[in-house]
Amino acid sequence: MLQIDFINVGSGDAALLRVNDYAALIDCGNVSLGDCRPGSCRTMAADYLRGEGLERLDLVVLTHLHRDHIGGFQAVLQAVHVDEVWTNYLPAPALWGCRADIPESYPKKARGLGKSLAVYLPALQMAYGQGARLREITRPAKGVSLTGELTVDICCLSEDCYRRQSRVLDDALRGRPDPDALYEVGAALNEASLRLKLHYHGQSVLFAGDAYGACWKAEAAPCTVFKAPHHGSDKALDRDLAQRLSPRTAVISCGAYREDGRPDPAVVGWLKEASGEVFCTDACETPGLSGENHRAVTVVLE
């Protein structure tokens, strides 16, 4: 049995996978839960793991460097032992103690990268200090074995994109931040998400990170469970992509009470047309969603 808990971390992503005694976490949520209204069941990923009685994770995957995906990484490391970490940016250890001081005059996306690195690097250092194996993923791979029953295909952009990301971020950590280059890397951060397609006894689970559907539509194939990208924004997918995927279950990881139109009602509608079963991790009252308070959306594949 494969159990997937899409944890309600508010406006962020965190999903716990379990097969027998194997456990993995895809993204870790943000550094905080944001605006919790009365009755909210939001929880930090680390607290969810504790509540499930977990003391160890075989794998943590950080799909990309936005704080709503990596912000809770350090807290996770404080809660459980992590054997292995996958990331698309792994700077040299000499840079782990550095700070990327991005001037306030730089574009917002450039400043955002500086804030992400300030959260990410101390956690990376902690993971290494605790003995975790750190693996940088910058090229696709098929059929990677996680357990005897569970394999994963890793999808991502071209290796050149990640080389450029590394050069630009490394330069910022060395005290040579380039505003234009940082803006370009920041603008492409969602598209650079690692995408994972899990295979389990003839069934598949697609985690799209925050990669907009237009980036990978040509690769799309039917799946059993689909974690929609970018919190169900209007860039997440279109009707054609939803039909190509035709998941049995679709899950949108998104915090309620957002004022930016996420999840987008059209995206919810297309997914309902294609799958009929659409859930949101938080109590979103978008048409087509239940607005229910829960700690996680749990999907089980037999």
Is the Cβ–Cβ distance between 169 and 207 less than 8 Å?
Answer: no
* Single-letter residue type at 247: P
- CATH code where residue 68 lies: 3.60.15.10
In this prediction, residue 257 carries a pLDDT of: 81
Q: Which two tokens stand for residue 70?
A: 């990596």
CB burial string 197-228: b at 16+ within 10 A, e below: bbbbeeebbbbbbbbbbebbeeebeebbbbbb
In this prediction, residue 178 carries a pLDDT of: 97
In this prediction, residue 8 carries a pLDDT of: 97
Q: What is the pTM of this model?
A: 0.96
Is the Cβ–Cβ distance between 201 and 20 less than 8 Å?
Answer: no
Please tell me the total count of domains within the chain. 1
CA distance 112 to 59: 26
Within 8 A by CB and 6+ apart from 252, the residues are 228, 231, 232, 263, 267, 268, 271, 278, 279, 280, 281, 284, 289
In this prediction, residue 148 carries a pLDDT of: 92
In this prediction, residue 260 carries a pLDDT of: 74
Find the domain containing 64 and state its range.
Answer: 2-301
In this prediction, residue 80 carries a pLDDT of: 98
pLDDT tens for the 302 residues of the chain, in order: 999 999 999 999 999 999 999 999 999 999 999 888 888 999 999 999 999 999 999 999 999 999 999 999 999 999 999 999 999 999 999 999 999 999 999 999 999 999 999 999 999 999 999 999 999 999 999 999 999 999 999 999 999 999 999 999 999 999 999 999 999 999 999 999 999 999 999 999 999 999 999 999 999 999 999 999 999 999 999 999 999 999 999 999 998 887 776 799 999 999 999 987 999 999 888 877 887 889 999 999 99
CA distance 188 to 193: 9
